[in-house]
């Protein structure tokens, strides 16, 4: 079994289609949302059946908080953004995942939410790799 891969865990097909794997953290797979309008990361806890944070053990909840904060700090450092938006909505994709989005005044949709604003603009492969390298370095 690959490091970080949890038995019985399968990534939701929509998350897989809309994002690219960046790296494995202790609990979560860190992914980049493939939308160049916003620096946008996803943390996906590798726990089969988890839909809500309260579905996880207290230890996993603490680890998720630690990893979310670590990623948010790295994203802020890497982008110099005005605000970090963090959320776990799950209305469409039920599998537990945490969005960490860098927002700055004047970005598309500011100050409104990123969800439902316009059409996704996928990264060029080279730009996605460059952004991923920047995040890895900040972590």
C-alpha span between 4 and 46 (Å, rounded) = 8
C-alpha span between 57 and 78 (Å, rounded) = 31
**pLDDT score at 90:** 87
**pLDDT score at 9:** 87
Query: What tokens were used for 99?
Result: 């969005």
pTM for the model: 0.92
**pLDDT score at 6:** 59
**Which class is domain 13-138?**
alpha beta
Digitized pLDDT (tens) for each residue of the chain, 139 residues in all:
344 455 678 999 999 999 999 999 999 999 999 999 999 999 999 999 999 999 999 999 999 999 999 999 999 999 999 999 999 998 889 999 999 999 999 998 899 999 888 899 999 999 999 999 999 999 9
**pLDDT score at 3:** 46
**pLDDT score at 7:** 67
**pLDDT score at 133:** 97
Query: What tokens were used for 29?
Result: 């797979």
SS3 103: strand
Alpha helices in the chain (DSSP H): 13-18, 58-79, 125-138
* Sequence ranges of the domains in the chain: 13-138
């Amino acid at each position: 079994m690959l490091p970080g891969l949890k038995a019985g865990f399968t990534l939701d097909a929509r998350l897989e289609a809309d994002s690219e794997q960046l790296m494995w953290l202790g609990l979560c797979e860190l992914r980049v949302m493939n939308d160049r309008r916003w620096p946008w990361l996803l943390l996906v806890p590798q726990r089969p059946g988890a839909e809500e944070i309260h579905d996880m053990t207290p230890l996993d909840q603490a680890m998720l908080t630690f990893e979310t904060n670590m990623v948010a700090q790295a994203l802020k450092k890497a982008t110099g953004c005005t605000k970090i938006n963090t959320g776990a909505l799950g209305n469409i994709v039920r599998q537990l995942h945490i969005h960490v989005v860098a927002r700055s005044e004047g970005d598309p949709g500011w100050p409104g939410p990123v969800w439902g604003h316009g059409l996704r603009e996928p990264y060029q492969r080279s730009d996605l790799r460059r952004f991923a390298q920047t995040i890895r370095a900040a972590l």
